Structures are given as structure tokens and as C-alpha cells.
Structure 1
Amino acid sequence: MSNLLRAAEALRRSKTVVFFTGAGISADSGIPTFRDKLTGLWVKHDPQRLETADAFRANPTLVWSWYLWRRHQVNQAKPNSAHLSIPRLADAGWDVSVVTQNIDDLHERAGSSPVVHLHGSLMDVKCFGCHRPAELSPDQLAVPLEGQLIEPPRCTRCNGRLRPGVVWFRENLPDNAWRSAVRLVRACDLLVSVGTSGVVMPAAGIPDMALAAGATVIHVNLEDVGMDGADEIMLVGPAGGVLLALLQAAGVAVLSPPGVPT
């Protein structure tokens, strides 16, 4: 039996499904991963050097402008067939939740709910000093002009600089989000891990957590990232084509003909 048929059978047997997603699911929407080269003003910058509290302390204007640019990218992007497949499965009767490492809002725009954001969201803003959430006007969140840098606004409560509401390198995950993720993963029948790198902890341990709780795990990735466990199934290929193929093989109607994963 092919891996696709095995995965479809595992899906048919399941009632509660958690999709655990990473950067790979948003790549077809034009959201770059860390492996992609940056463009324009940011071509000389390393994202991992911009996404730290130390970088913000050293140059808050540069980091704030970088996130305004990223937010603009997300606002211009649209959910792709991989994002859209997930609520389609929920509409077909499965109990579906999403746990994502992504900071975009493409799952929500595709119609998924609930969505647990382990690494926060580009749509949120908080104070670097007092950590309180903040609301900004559209003008304050406008993308900088080419070559322009914008100083971050100030908190109305403590006058600290505002920062993106995301989790930077070496920061802890939000307690509420992590607890919600653990609860969902430990209770699911099937975990579908889509486009995750498997290197950012503690989120990288989620597939093992699901396996330990007795769930089946389907990995969807451009390369083989499975550990060859008895309850693991590897589907290699672009997220959109693979998920459409999986749904079709499980008997779920899809809107466009899928590609068949290897």
C-alpha cells in the first residue's frame, strides 16, 4: 500500500485531527522561509539577526521597519490550497484544530478555527517595556517606502517602544498557547505535520508528543523528515498538492484536481 493510501486510511479512521504547521505551508502564498533570500532594502540582512530582543535594543527602528515590511507581505498574500484544505476537512465532519509556528494569519483567513499561534502573530503589537498589548492605527502600521526606516511608536502607558507581538529567538513561548497546543495534541487521533523544519524547540517535539499519546502522525514536507516509526507516514511534495491528494484519497470532495505526492 502506498503512503498516500495509508495516510488516507489513517484519516478515515480518525475523528480528531490536529494540523501542526510551519513555514512550508505558507511558501506557496509568497511568504518567504528562512531559507529564502531577502529582497530590496533587506537583501543584506539575516532574518535571524533581526529577530531577537538584542537586535531591537540595538536598533529598534531597523527591526520595527523590518516587521512592517513583513506584515505588508502577509497582507498582500492569500491563503493557498494547503490552508484551504484544512477547513474543508472540518466542513466534511472531522474535529479539526490548527497549531502553527507561523506568525501570519493565513489560516484564519482560510477559515480555520481554532488556531493556536505558538510564536505569536504579526497582527499583534505589544510594549517592549511593560509587555501590554497595544492597538495602532492603519497609518502607524503602513509599510515604509523603499529605503525608509520608521521609528516604533511609544506605549501610551509606560512610554516604552512598541514591538511586534511575536516570539523572538531565545524567548519563551506564550504559556497559554503552549498549554492549548499540548492539550490538543495529546487528545488527537491524528497529527498532520505540514511544512515544519523539526529544529525549533520546543515546538519540534510536538510530533513525538502525539506519537507518545497514541496518535498517528502524517508528515507533509518537501523532503523526508520522518523517523520511520510504525505510526508515522511520510508524504513528500508541496503542501497544497499533497493535502488535496490526501483529502481526495480519503473521499473528501476538493475544489481542484490534486497532484499526487511521491
Structure 2
Amino acid sequence: MTGPELAEAGRLLAAARRPVVFTGAGMSAERARADVPGRPDRALAAVRPAGAGDPCRVRADPALVWGWYEARRRGVRRALPNPGHRAVAAIQARLPETGVITQNVDDLHERGGVPAPVRLHGSLFAPRCSACARPAPLPSDLPLPSDLPPPSDPRCRPASRSRRTGR
């Protein structure tokens, strides 16, 4: 963006009553990589990001998919917000009516200073039981295996088994 374009963007933003900042993959791409440096991982190699949430993939190998998400979560924990995340927070600090909507599942907007972005695709840090959709605990920071059992709510586990098997 050139100087005059940036000045015009600033003028338009200052004149807005309720601006909305909408972000997607480009905002966090350079910072929130899923890789685990120095160690190949079966989950990361076997699951492409676009197919990770596919219901067929989840049903076929839930531990592999959950391991993939856990590896991504750990990569994001190591990442730092970039100047874009901080700029969005600065806009919201100056114009408190600014809405922030993101497609990203990382927590980099929050760590960059945005208190409560609206998340279109959920959060890596708020897993839910795949059977009942209740919040499920995050795993501890133990060494990362290639795959993990997905999170579950202990209250629904027997019910979910009986629904699937018909028993």
C-alpha cells in the first residue's frame, strides 16, 4: 500500500461508525505453522489441513486427526502475533466499536491485543467432545505422540458408544 492509499484508508477508518476487520489465513500464515521442528510426525504428514475436519476422515481415524490438531496447537503456542495482529488490536483500541471477525483458529489475535474476536471456525484452544459437543479438556503438554484419542466428555461416553453400536 502506498502512502496516499494508506492515508485514504486511515481517513475512511476514522470516519466509520462501526468498522469491521475480517481476517483469514493470510493474517497468521507465517506465524502459526503446524510443523514440529526436527521431527517428522505421522499426523502432520498424513492429514492435509483442508481435510482435517472432514467428518469421514474424523470417523475413519479420529486419533490421527486429533493428533494433527494437537500438533497444530503446539505450533501455534510457539508462534508470536505479527504486526498485523497488533495493528488490528490498535484499531480496536482507538475505535472500540470495531468488530473483529476471523476465520483463523489460532489465538494470535487475542495475544496481539484483541480481547474477543468472533471466530467463524472455532478455536484450537476450545475443543469439544465429538459425541455431545460439550467443551472437552485440552491435553497436557506431555511429549507429542503421532496420534491421540480425541477429547471426550466422560458424561456422554457410554451413551455415544451405545448410539453407534446399537447396544
Specify the TM-score bucket, using the shorter chain as the normaliser: 0.7 to 0.9
Which residue identity lines up with residue 147 of structure 2 in the other structure? L
**Aligned-pair distance for 1:119?**
0.6
1:131 & 1:66 partners in 2: Cα distance?
19
Q: What is the alpha-carbon distance in structure 2 between the residues aligned to residue 52 and residue 154 of structure 1?
A: 18
Residue of structure 2 in register with 1:61 after alignment: 63
Structure-2 change in CA distance of 1:143 and 1:64 (3 Å) = farther
SS at match of 1:86: helix
Question: Cα offset for 1:5?
Answer: 3.1
Instruction: Give the secondary structure class of the aligned counterpart of 2:98.
Output: strand
1:65 Cα offset (Å)? 0.3
Alpha-carbon distance in structure 2 between the residues aligned to 1:6 and 1:136: 44
Aligned equivalent of 1:99: 101
Partners of 1:122 and 1:143 in 2: CA distance: 18
Does the Cα contact within 8 Å between 2:129 and 2:136 map onto a contact in 1? yes
The answer for the alignment partner of 2:153 in structure 1 is: 155
Task: Mark the CA change 1:128 to 1:153 in structure 2 (over 3 Å): closer, same or farther.
Answer: closer
Q: Is the 8 A contact 2:129 2:135 kept in 1?
A: yes
Q: 1:30 to 1:74 in 2, by over 3 A?
A: closer
TM-score with structure 2 length normalisation? 0.78
Runs of 4+ in structure 1 displaced over 6 angstroms?
Answer: none
Question: Residues 187-208 of structure 1, C-alpha deviation per residue, up to 9 Å, x if partnerless?
Answer: xxxxxxxxxxxxxxxxxxxxxx
Distance across 1 between alignment mates of 2:126 and 2:57: 19
Contact 1:31 1:73 in 2 (8 A): yes
CA displacement 1:150-199 (0-9 Å, x = unmatched): 222442111159xxxxxxxxxxxxxxxxxxxxxxxxxxxxxxxxxxxxxx
Contact 1:79 1:109 in 2 (8 A): yes
Hey, what does 2:164 align to over in structure 1?
Answer: none
SS of 1:122's equivalent? coil
Q: Deviation of residue 106 (structure 1)?
A: 0.8
CA contact (8 A) 1:61 1:152 kept: yes
Spell out the pairing of 1:160-175 with structure 2 (5 A cutoff): 160=160
- Is 1:131 equivalent to 2:133 in the alignment? yes
Counterpart-to-counterpart distance in 2, 1:47 and 1:93: 34
Number of the residue aligned with 2:40 = 40
- C-alpha displacement at 1:130, in angstroms? 1.4
Unaligned runs of 5+ in 2: 162-167
Decide whether aligned partners of structure 1 residues 59 and 16 sit closer, same or farther in structure 2, where only a CA change above 3 A counts.
same
CA contact (8 A) 2:19 2:99 kept: yes
In structure 2, the CA distance between the partners of 1:44 and 1:65, relative to structure 1 (3 Å rule), is: closer
Q: Within 5 A, what are the aligned runs for 1:112-261?
A: 112-139=114-141, 142=142, 144-145=144-145, 148-159=146-157, 160=160
The 8 Å contact of residues 21 and 100 in structure 2, kept in 1 or not, is answered as yes
Give the match's secondary structure for 1:40. coil
- RMSD of equivalent CA atoms: 2.4
Amino acid at match of 1:88: A
Amino acid at match of 1:134: A
Assess if the C-alpha contact under 8 Å between 1:97 and 1:112 holds in 2. Answer: no
Match of 1:52 among 51, 54, 69: 54
Distance 2:110 2:143 in 1: 22
Shift of residue 111, structure 1, vs aligned partner: 1.4
